[in-house]
Amino acid sequence: MTKPEKQNIIASQPTRSRTAKAERNTSETQLSMSIDIDGSGAFTGSIGVPFFEHMLNLFTRHALLDIQLSGIGDVHIDAHHTVEDCGILLGQIFKQALGDKAGINRYGDAHVPMEEALARCVLDLCNRPYLRFDVELPKAKVGEFDVELAEEFLRAFVFNAGITMHITVFHGSNLHHILEAVFKSVGLALSHATGYNPRIRGVLSTKGKL
> Does residue 37 contact residue 18 with C-beta atoms inside 8 Å?
yes
pTM of the shown model? 0.91
> What homologous superfamily does CATH list for 19-193?
Imidazole glycerol phosphate dehydratase; domain 1 (3.30.230.40)
Q: Write down the domain spans for the chain.
A: 19-193
The model's pLDDT over 138-150, given as tens digits with 9 standing for 90+, comes to 999 999 999 999 9
**DSSP character string of 10-27:** PPP--SS--EEEEEEE-S
Successive 10-residue mean pLDDT values, the chain, 210 residues: 41 72 97 98 96 98 98 95 98 97 96 98 97 96 96 98 98 97 98 95 88
Residue 158: the pLDDT is: 98
Residue 6: the pLDDT is: 38
Cα–Cα dist 121/108, whole Å: 8
Residue 207: the pLDDT is: 87
